[in-house]
Chain A
């Protein structure tokens, strides 16, 4: 009976959505003309004709994320940073000592070994081409962080130690990513302090009242100013932030409890 209810609800739900979008115009006018909002973003995303009003980065979503609403993204990164700090605080005093496990079968281990270099290639591609194609630092970081889960589940959590990946090193790389983000944020102000040219925090390209701009082309190659640097820095911060979390979560509960109890005198 429950099976038929689920089936009926799926059929009804899909039919209602299909009817609403096809006959009732639930998605608004589609295909007749580009919407005003889309035109606005497209005009400001990459437009050398209006240098004061453009992000000069061809990928609209990246321009929105790291330029138009860049401060919002920065604060999201800070929230993520604080969440990991909180996790590290909870685990304070716990040494990373994973118990050696057998991992999964040789079939899964060998296939995973081949997939990991390919995973790194794809993650770097998502980060490095985020200014030009869908993707960006956060997506790339999440893609790379999958490796930490694969290592813990497929090869056992003790594989981190064998590969030289310690919690301290992951924290260092994660922090390096955050410092790189901060460097890009403060670079215009530092430039202003040295040269006297007016510039603002997180500024990407020229403004009506500021001639400061990050390099958009290097030797004729499009690199797109701050979005590229933010993407690469965010990639480092997010991937190793997740590494820290997944490494902590891969610890056995009884080991963690024992160490927390001892170190806090309970």
Chain B
């Protein structure tokens, strides 16, 4: 039962926001739609019911969103702006292997998207058998797995693990 609630909530919010109409007709269709879609799709979206309605996990997710959109984005932008404005263009590009430790698909995907959405690093491929991201890094300070993990992934994965693992 718990697994249906987050999906129903997501569908209802998207529906109401997109329709932009708070009328009895709109709300009635939104509620029916949310129930119907969550009944059909929840099993593909939420595997572990016990995590679905954890307030602690949502608090970690909200904190991560705030941290990512402020601290991490600022840090990454500052570095890339520095490179763009520099006279001698100090780039050291490389595609590096970054080992990940997460087991949940949501942590793996959210970490990969966090890497890609910060300037300077892009996940170009993923090897799930060997638990590796292949990341294009604009200034690769090292190629060994410890260095790439510490510099590219750790701050994202450690925080996202508290949400999804």
Interface residues of A, Cβ cutoff 8 Å to B: 105-107, 110-111, 113-114, 116-118, 120-122, 124-126, 128-129, 132-133, 219, 221-223
Contact = CB atoms under 8 A, between A and B. Distances in A.
B160 interface: no
Given A125-B18, A128-B19, A219 B106 contact: no
Contacts of B20: 133
B11 A105 contact: no
Contacts of A117: 7, 10-11, 14, 37-38, 41, 45
A196 B103 CA distance: 69
The 5 closest A-B pairs by CB, nearest first: A121-B15, A110-B109, A125-B19, A121-B14, A125-B18
Given A106-B109, A114-B45, A121-B34, 9 more contacts: A107-B109, A111-B109, A117-B14, A118-B14, A120-B11, A128-B25, A128-B29, A132-B21, A219-B24
A112 B12 CA distance: 18
B123 interface: yes
Contacts of A122: 14-15, 18
A48 B109 CA distance: 54
A116 B40 CA distance: 11
B70 interface: no
Interface centre among A106, A117, A126 (most CB of B within 10 A): A117
Majority SS at the chain B contact face: helix
Interface residues of B, number: 32
B33 A121 contact: yes
B109 A121 contact: no
Nearest to A127: B29
A111 B106 CA distance: 9
Given A110-B109, A117-B45, A223 B25 contact: yes
A129 B125 CA distance: 41
Contacts of B19: 125, 128-129, 133
Contacts of A222: 23, 25
A221 B25 contact: yes
B108 interface: yes
Contacts of A219: 24
A121 B33 CA distance: 7
Nearest to B7: A117
Nearest to B12: A121
Contacts of A107: 108-109, 112-113, 123, 126
A162 to B, nearest CB: 10
B128 interface: yes
Interface centre among B7, B41, B113 (most CB of A within 10 A): B41
Contacts of B128: 106
Nearest to B15: A121
